[in-house]
Structures are given as structure tokens and as C-alpha cells.
Chains A and B, each alone.
Chain A
Amino acid sequence: MSAVTQDTAVSTGRVARAFIYLLLILFALFYLLPLYVMGVNSLKPLQEITGGNMMALPATWTLEPWRAAWSSAQIGVQPTGLKPYFINSILMVVPAVAISTVLGALNGYILTKWRFRGDTIVYGLMLFSCFIPFQIVLIPMAVVLGKLGLAGTVPGLILVHVVYGLGFTTLYFRNYYAAFPTELVRAAMMDGAGFFRIFWRILLPVSGPIAVVSIIWQFTNIWNDFLFGVSFGGTSQPMTAALNNLVQSSTGVKEYNVHFAAAILAALPTLVVYVVAGRYFVRGLMAGSVKG
């Protein structure tokens, strides 16, 4: 009797499971479809796209659109390809992510372990900054950058992104360090370690998971940012602004294959960051809530 019910249970389980997998595969295919379209079309000559089926594999495979997107496509008035803008983006994103993450960690450390009068208000205000839309700060930011002589430069963009990201990185590290035992900091204090030594030797070594969260978050946001880039980039426009220029250009023939290649190039770094560090991302997000 019990064997029969068990058997039924197992087979029902199998059917349900097969159904679930089928559904998952369908969703995955649906989700991957745009990537497939971009991929195949970036490897075709242009006339195959204009004359034929978008979904078909290339009849003649070519890397020419990729080469063009990278080094010779017309961006604005110059036939430079995306390369210089890609470099701009890298020059902007690496320092901006590093600085905002380090400062966020320091803020979190101070707000939890070196509490001072009004620290909750300071934290509240920083948290508030997470909810301010980009558009609101455009004009004040432009004024500040102009006064600092940083308008239209990579350092200017770095400053903008550091300021804008600080609220988020502070939030991450503060919540992470709030769960870190204060007795450890006190013990280190009694052992004779100073402010930075405690940070460097005691807190930072256990901050890996939350640092990954902060880096991924900041990297994707800064890399993908368009508004600050076009507004304050000046002659040092980032990748996103260049991609827009390329795709939106109204002169000449629309080279869809080149556009596809360029779009993939623009998305590649964030993709790499996720693939490399993605699994730490979830772990880090969980770490604050569930203390191990």
C-alpha cells in the first residue's frame, strides 16, 4: 500500500520536475534570444542583414564588424571606433569603483565602531542620497565641476560617480560591519592597534563578501551610466555615450552588424565582472542578514 503511494509520489515528482525544467529552459531561451540575435548578426556582412533573415546563422562569417566597431567606426565626426571611449570608461570606472568602495568601507567602519554624536543622522543623510535621482543633481554638479575646473574630464566623471556611489557603498559596509563584534575592535584597541591598523588588520580581512557586492554594484552602475557621461564627459566621453553616438548617427547607411558588435563590446566588461564575481555577490548580500 505504502509502496504504491510512494511510487505515485515519485512519478508525480518526475512529471512536475520535467515540467519545471521545460519551463526553465523556455525562459532561458527567451532570455538568451536577444544575445543570440546580436551575436549572429555581428558576425555577418551587412547585406545579409538588410536582405535576409535576422535569425539565420551567417552565410559568410566575418569579424569585420567587430574590428570596425572597435577601431574604425564613425563616432560623431571622427572615425575612431569605440577604442578610445572604452579606454575612457576604464580610466573612469576603475578609480571610481576603488575610491567609492574604500571610502564606503571607511564610512561603515566609523559609523559602526567609532560612533559619535549625530552619527545616525549622518548615516540617514547618506542613505537618503541613494534615493536622489540623477537628473536632480545635474545642474548643481555641473556648477561644482566647473568651479573645480574638472568639467569635461575623466577625473570630473570619477568625482561625480564617487559622490553618487558613496551612499550605496556606505550602506553596504555599515550594515555588514554592524554585525561585526565590537569586542574585537576593543580587543585590538587594548592590543595597541590604532584607527587605521584596526581597519586594515581586523576588519578588512573579513570584508571580502561585502567588498564584492560593492564592487559589482558600483562597476555596473558606473560602466552603464549614460546621463552623467554625456553631461559631464566633454571630450572624455565614456563608452555608453559613444555607443549612443554610433547607433543614433543619422548620416550614411546604418551598419547594424557594427552596431551589434559595438553593443556587445559595451556590455562585455559588466558581463565579465558578473561571471567572475557573481557567486560572491549573492553570498555577500546574504552575509549581513545571516551571521555565520
Chain B
Amino acid sequence: MGFLDIRNVTKSYGSVQVLHDVDISVAEGEFLVLVGPSGCGKSTLLNMIAGLESVTSGEIAIRGRVVNGVHPSKRNIAMVFQSYALYPNMTVAQNITFGLEMHGTPRAERERALADVAKLLQIDHLLDRKPAQLSGGQRQRVAMGRALVRDPDVFLFDEPLSNLDAKLRVDMRTEIKKLHQKLGTTIVYVTHDQIEAMTLSTRIAVMYRGHVQQLGTPREIYDTPANVFVATFMGSPAMNILPARVALRDGVPHARITDAEGAERLLRFSQPNLAGWDGRDILLGIRPEAITDPEGADRKSGNIQGLANRVSVTEPAGSDTFVTMVLSGRDVIARMRADASVGPGQDFDFAVNMDKAVAFDPQSEERIAP
């Protein structure tokens, strides 16, 4: 039993089921990120934990206490909303202490809690201002202050950074991470941004169409995605997915693909469990950073395969250069070092790190290897 348990929870609006049998157990101090495209049910799930939406079936328990039907204010949770939801008519100080006031905390104690939070978030100088007089980043801090001041069991964040500009978003992301490391609180965090999910979380639940597609650590999600959806949703640029056929050579499984000219190529798999798929079609997943120039290849990998192919497009992006080529009829992106000398139309010797390759069943799109 975890600190926060979501047990076989479903949610329907009338006849439309928007969440299917969600089962997640969150340990104390964990940073769980719910990530998925818009409309997949992340906010609904978060609101159900908060008590703002009813649970159609299943149970939600916090610290072992089932909270279905318990009023939001009695769950000992706090939430940071996407729009920050600061009360426009109150000052920052009043915004932060409103919850304490509603819970009947004595004034002296409220002031002390306010002072602590203001110091932690460095908003001491803003306490007398109204929300309209704050910048986006400052509003974000105040919204977090309002959540922190109540010292809740669980923090809920619903896309808290999506209203900030790109630079501030990265800064606040770091700040949230620091805060979590410092306070060690349990957090459930909703985002549609896979980078936020990867950088912040201790565990990620990838959601799609009301189903949890995969629940795991960022590493697990990234390296061994449960299916094609997770593989392509997490990571930027997305994982390359190309049709291939498994062929055994001396009992070792290889992926048979075609290059830009349509000529057949073989890439040896590191995963022996594909032997049973001999002669069958699969989907081969390779992340862009697993296809590099030979000098940039991962030295620790035990299985770097050479692959000469025609380059179609190069896109220098400062820190890296992205190279597009055609494999098995699909555009495939490779990630080179910034100074790799490669140009369009050129035949180039790529190095493919097959240790990182993933294979999917083409019908079910589920992962079959590793």
C-alpha cells in the first residue's frame, strides 16, 4: 500500500468513459507525473484525487484512508492550477493565508507560516500586491506558496508552467525540482510536455485516451516504452519507427530493412528473445541519438552497427545536427554532434547503437523486445 493509492479508478460523463481502470500507487515523497496529449484525461484524474470530480468506480486513498466522497478541503491536499487561480481581490499575503483562515488557524500562526513560505519562495517583497500587479513567474510562485503554506500530504499540479514563456518555464521547472528535493513532499503533476515529465518525475504515467499506457521511471519509459504510442510521445525528436523483418543469421536475430536506394540491409539485434520472430514483420524503434556519426557513437555500447545511407536533409540545431534519411521507406532522424561534417545528398556512414533498439508487434503495437 502506498501513500496515495488510485485503485481501479474509472470516470464516465454520462455514457462516455474518459478514464479506464487506472491503477497507480504512489509512495511517500514520490514525484509522479501524469503525461499525455490534450484530452487524455490527466486533469480529470487529478481533479478526482483533489475531490473536485466524483469517482465513477474504484477507490482513491491517501495515507490509507479512502477519500471517495471526502470534501476537497478535508483531504489534506493542495493544488496549483494552470491559471494559478489567484483571488483577484486579495493581496498576495491574503491569497496565501486564505486556506489557513478558512481552517481556523490562529492569526499568529498564519503570519508565521506566511513568513516561512514567503522566504522559501522569495516573494517577501510582493506580499502587499494584488495578483494583477504581478508578472507570470511571480504569480506562479504565489500559487505555489498558497499550496505550500498548508503543509499538505500531497501536492497536485495541473500544467502549472504552461502559461509561462519558454525561458521562464525552464527556470521554474528547475525551481520546482529543487523544492521537491528540499521538502521531500509527495507530488502528482500533470503536463502534456514530455520534457517536463522526464526532467521532474521520479515516476511517469503516460496516458492516452483514458488509459495509462505505461507507468515507470523516466529511464524505463524512455528506454523500454511499452508500445509505439509511448515510444513516439516521449522524446524529442520522436523515436524513429520503421517496418522491418526479423531474419536469423547463425541463430542471431537481425532486423532486415531497406536503405534510401531500396537495397536490403541487416542490423544485428542485441535482444536474443526476438529469435522466435524469425521471418515475421515487426516495427523497429530507434531513437535519433542512437543513430550517429561513428565518432559520436556510444563507446559503452556493445553493439554498434555501421550503416551507409544517403542523407536527405540536415538541420543544425546548435548543440546537435539532425540528419534526415530514408530507411524502409520512412523518414528517419539521426542526431549527430554539432560539428559532424555531413551534407544533403551525401552518402554517409552512420553508426547505429542496436543496444537501444526496441521492437514492437506491428499489429498490437506493443513492445516485444527488449
CB pair B73 A192 closer than 8 Å: yes
**Could you tell me the distance in whole angstroms from the C-beta of B215 to the nearest C-beta in chain A?**
26
CB pair A181 B73 closer than 8 Å: no
Q: For residue A203, which residue of chain B has the nearest CB?
A: B89
Known: A189-B72, A190-B72, A206-B88. A183 touches B99 (CB 8 A): no
Residues on the B chain within 8 Å of A197, using CB: 102
CB pair A192 B89 closer than 8 Å: no
Cα separation A205 to B94 with both chains bound (whole Å)? 14
CB pair A183 B85 closer than 8 Å: yes
CB pair A184 B85 closer than 8 Å: yes
Give the size category of B's interface with A: 20 to 34
CB pair A184 B99 closer than 8 Å: no
CB pair A181 B83 closer than 8 Å: yes
Cα separation A192 to B78 with both chains bound (whole Å)? 11
Residues on the B chain within 8 Å of A186, using CB: 50, 52, 72, 79, 81, 85
Known: A183-B82, A183-B83, A186-B81. A191 touches B88 (CB 8 A): no
Residues on the B chain within 8 Å of A183, using CB: 81-83, 85
Whether B77 is near chain A, meaning CB under 8 Å from some CB there, is yes
Known: A192-B73, A205-B89. A187 touches B102 (CB 8 A): no
CB pair A193 B102 closer than 8 Å: yes
Q: For residue B78, which residue of chain A has the nearest CB?
A: A190
CB pair A191 B83 closer than 8 Å: no
CB pair A188 B79 closer than 8 Å: no
CB pair A189 B87 closer than 8 Å: no
> Which of the residues A188, A190, A192 comes within 8 Å of B87, measured between beta carbons?
A188
Instruction: Digitize B193-232: 1 where CB-to-A-CB distance is under 8 Å, 0 elsewhere.
Output: 0000000000000000000000000000000000000000
**Could you tell me the distance in whole angstroms from the C-beta of A28 to the nearest C-beta in chain B?**
38
Interface centre among B52, B103, B146 (most CB of A within 10 A): B52
CB pair B72 A206 closer than 8 Å: no
CB pair A189 B52 closer than 8 Å: yes
**Could you tell me the distance in whole angstroms from the C-beta of A208 to the nearest C-beta in chain B?**
10
CB pair A191 B81 closer than 8 Å: no
Q: For residue B80, which residue of chain A has the nearest CB?
A: A187
CB pair B89 A190 closer than 8 Å: no
CB pair B78 A188 closer than 8 Å: no
CB pair B81 A187 closer than 8 Å: yes
Instruction: Digitize B68-96: 1 where CB-to-A-CB distance is under 8 Å, 0 elsewhere.
Output: 00011100011101110101110000000
Whether A16 is near chain B, meaning CB under 8 Å from some CB there, is no
CB pair B73 A187 closer than 8 Å: no
Whether A35 is near chain B, meaning CB under 8 Å from some CB there, is no
Whether B277 is near chain A, meaning CB under 8 Å from some CB there, is no
**Could you tell me the distance in whole angstroms from the C-beta of B120 to the nearest C-beta in chain A?**
19
Cα separation A192 to B74 with both chains bound (whole Å)? 8
Cα separation A197 to B73 with both chains bound (whole Å)? 13
In chain A, residues 62-79, which have Cβ atoms closer than 8 Å to a Cβ of chain B?
Answer: none
Whether A54 is near chain B, meaning CB under 8 Å from some CB there, is no
Whether B3 is near chain A, meaning CB under 8 Å from some CB there, is no
Residues on the A chain within 8 Å of B77, using CB: 190
**Could you tell me the distance in whole angstroms from the C-beta of B46 to the nearest C-beta in chain A?**
11
Q: For residue B132, which residue of chain A has the nearest CB?
A: A292
**Could you tell me the distance in whole angstroms from the C-beta of A202 to the nearest C-beta in chain B?**
6
Cα separation A206 to B130 with both chains bound (whole Å)? 13
Instruction: Digitize A181-225: 1 where CB-to-B-CB distance is under 8 Å, 0 elsewhere.
Output: 101101111111100010001100110000000000000000000
Whether B98 is near chain A, meaning CB under 8 Å from some CB there, is yes
Residues on the B chain within 8 Å of A202, using CB: 87, 89
Residues on the A chain within 8 Å of B72, using CB: 186, 189-190
Interface centre among A187, A189, A192 (most CB of B within 10 A): A187
Cα separation A208 to B77 with both chains bound (whole Å)? 33
Residues on the B chain within 8 Å of A205, using CB: 89
CB pair A187 B79 closer than 8 Å: yes
Cα separation A202 to B90 with both chains bound (whole Å)? 9
In chain A, residues 39-70, which have Cβ atoms closer than 8 Å to a Cβ of chain B?
Answer: none
Instruction: Digitize B261-282: 1 where CB-to-A-CB distance is under 8 Å, 0 elsewhere.
Output: 0000000000000000000000
Q: For residue B87, which residue of chain A has the nearest CB?
A: A202
CB pair A206 B103 closer than 8 Å: no
CB pair A192 B83 closer than 8 Å: no
**Could you tell me the distance in whole angstroms from the C-beta of A227 to the nearest C-beta in chain B?**
40
CB pair A190 B79 closer than 8 Å: yes
Q: For residue B72, which residue of chain A has the nearest CB?
A: A190
**Could you tell me the distance in whole angstroms from the C-beta of B55 to the nearest C-beta in chain A?**
17
CB pair B98 A188 closer than 8 Å: yes
Given A186-B50, A186-B81, A191-B73, 18 new contacts (CB under 8 A): A181-B83, A181-B85, A184-B85, A186-B72, A186-B79, A186-B85, A188-B87, A189-B71, A190-B50, A190-B51, A190-B77, A190-B99, A191-B102, A191-B146, A192-B73, A193-B102, A201-B87, A206-B88
The 8 closest A-B pairs by CB, nearest first: A192-B73, A192-B102, A191-B99, A205-B89, A187-B85, A183-B85, A183-B81, A190-B72
Instruction: Mark A residues whose CB is within 8 Å of B.
Output: 181, 183-184, 186-193, 197, 201-202, 205-206
20 residue pairs bridging A and B, Cβ less than 8 Å apart: A181-B85, A183-B81, A183-B83, A183-B85, A184-B87, A186-B52, A186-B79, A187-B85, A187-B87, A187-B146, A188-B87, A189-B72, A190-B51, A190-B78, A190-B99, A192-B103, A193-B73, A197-B102, A202-B87, A205-B89
